Amino acid sequence: MDGNGRWAKARGLPRTAGHTEGEENLASVVRAAVQRNVGWLTAFGFSTENWVRPRTEVRHILGLHEKLFGRVAELNELNVRIQWIGRPFGSPDARTPKYVQRAIRKAIADTAANTGMTLTIAFDYGSRAELARAAQQIIADGVPATIETLQQRLYLPDLPAVDVLVRTSGEMRISNFLLWQIHASKVYFTEKAWPDFDEHELDAALSLLQ
């Protein structure tokens, strides 16, 4: 969900305003995806690299994610199941604050019975950290290193392969996001910043599958 800061700067607003708008837009995109019968939607909310951002910006983003995981009534109304992907809370390198952890656990429990779209939020997530941890577990378990054994040791082994990767804000690259899962995905690049990513952009991304 790239371009929140640039979106705000173009409007003479603080970067935090861009993040707020971006979080609100995610709710709009979730609704649009549900209407289009999308089965799985994964959003990169906060990476392992984002902790180096200014403290006030990080605090603002943390608050927004606590609010995001608190939108249980809306998710239940949409029949959306929410899950989270990131460094396990108990691991020594995990940095997700306790109050965000509580919001994540509650949202997962309160939407577990929903049977519609699965919304996965990547928070304190980095694909290289995920793959390194899977490799370490293979070594610790003493099993052969294969595609199957590595897949089984990912953060969310049942997360399906990505069909379409969306990159907003004119960034012509991939980032440290689901590198294992995007191995055969289509990639949709758009100049629009994330707060301006709308249902028409979503339709354009989904059209790559036709």
Which residues are catalytically annotated? Answer: 2, 50
Contact of 188 with 162, CB cutoff 8 Å: no
| Spatial separation of the C-alpha atoms in residues 154 and 137, rounded to whole Å | 10
Q: Which of 108, 114, 113, 116 is nearest to 36 (CA)?
A: 116
| Spatial separation of the C-alpha atoms in residues 141 and 145, rounded to whole Å | 10
Tally of CA atoms within 13 A in the half-sphere of 205 that contains its CB:
26
Measure Cα distances from 85 to 43, 141, 143, 166, 169 in Å: 10, 22, 24, 18, 23
Structure tokens at 162: 């990505």
